[in-house]
Chain A
């Protein structure tokens, strides 16, 4: 491979994108977050056409296009690991110092998994099907991180 490009006197202009944003959660997303925060319950929604229970909740079933916004179902605070990954590098956007585990966790009563942090177990011990429970944060952030993490059921 060629490595002898002449870069003498070649100028690099540094820049930075500033793109502040807010995201309107909508009524469905807001109900999930406030219930999680105030009642420590995880909510899903059921599609009466295909019978699937979705978490996180959504206004429409993307397969049946049914309006399912009012079909709330309280899910269990326990569930199982569907898949996972061990994060071994540090970066500013990551929620924990490495190493830590991000897992797809399907709460009991739901047909879909949600992403969250898995603690209390070494990465090489995790297997799909592992039973886990939600551990709630002491302080609210009005986000999905009102669940602090999941950990194995003792």
Chain B
């Protein structure tokens, strides 16, 4: 894969996140976006005049809006600045971070404000998503955003009882994290004694995927300010450095691109390439936190193996032994993850934002209770679209 070393280093200097919720009738879209922008600007301690470029993104068709970046200028602060829109489905927020990093690293801009947003309650998610499928081959043969292929795989490989328990263990851990995060949309206060009941009685959606496993539909926005090394050091006393990122895409069901059945997921492929070119031999011991785009508990369990390049049942053991808890060996989604809040266009950016906050040490009640120096954040979209980003506390790699 073609890859060039960065022209210059890029740091995250400002982070803004709205509270995520099912309904925000009190603000319209530009007003909600502005909440995140204002927070990011205040967090950086700069003014909008210090921003050179604004990039903006969300899901196509989800609010049934066209070119929202233009009329959101009321809230984004893009007036008189270079600005454009990016949309890559579920990975949009992560792609915005990649683009901001590239724009600053290239020397094109010294500071870039990246904004991801979604107001899912205003639109019809499934209506938008089903139009992703090829009209001739796949549009009449799909289930929208819902699938339980990961469950089928896990059950086939590890047996029904163990697989189902692992998925529900993962789910309860994520809820325990969500309860610590004041921005969570859904935090139920689930506990271990509810395990058997939830496995049996949560409303079924598709296959072995039940309502309790699945992510929410949320309203919310996220904004991150990226700056060149020189500017970042001026602006922030604790910039978080963007070490590297990788994007890998393959569609397996909704169109005819690469639809031979894969022997390797894009997650594993992305992880392998990214670690190789950064000299990371043992990702599980290298990283101090992983913010994963986990649309359901089944995927969350299955993908741990891919992202950490594990074999056999090592990923199940991580879950079963609760090592992915905030106090565990490898904290995954101390924020509660995507099951706790999913404002889609913002979701993948929230992973980067939350990973960066963990490195800064100011995540709040869900701060990992030990030093965090190396963070991994993933984005997910399409049927198999991966963006993987490495953040660092120090510039010493």
Contact = CB atoms under 8 A, between A and B. Distances in A.
Interface of A: 13, 15, 17-29, 58-60, 62-63, 65
Contacts of B29: 24
19 contacts: A15-B139, A17-B131, A19-B64, A19-B123, A19-B127, A20-B123, A20-B124, A21-B123, A22-B122, A24-B24, A24-B26, A24-B121, A26-B27, A58-B30, A59-B30, A60-B34, A60-B74, A62-B75, A65-B77
5 closest A-B pairs by CB: A26-B28, A21-B64, A19-B64, A26-B27, A62-B79
Given A21-B123, A59-B75, A26 B61 contact: no
A93 to B, nearest CB: 13
Q: What is the interface of chain B mostly: helix, strand, loop, or mixed? A: loop
Contacts of A28: 28, 31
B25 interface: yes
B127 A65 contact: no
Interface residues of B, number: 32
Nearest to A15: B135
A58 B65 CA distance: 19
Contacts, number: 74
Contacts of B135: 13, 15
Contacts of A60: 30-31, 34, 74-75
A24 B27 contact: yes
B144 interface: no
Interface in B1-36: 23-31, 34
Interface of B: 23-31, 34, 48, 61, 63-65, 73-75, 77, 79-80, 119, 121-124, 127-128, 131, 135-136, 139
Contacts of B127: 17-20
A63 B28 CA distance: 19
B374 to A, nearest CB: 35
Given A59-B75, A60-B74, A62-B79, A26 B31 contact: yes
A24 B23 CA distance: 9
Most buried by A among B25, B61, B136: B25
A91 B64 CA distance: 20
Contacts of B119: 24
A22 B62 CA distance: 11
A22 B136 CA distance: 30
A59 B71 CA distance: 13
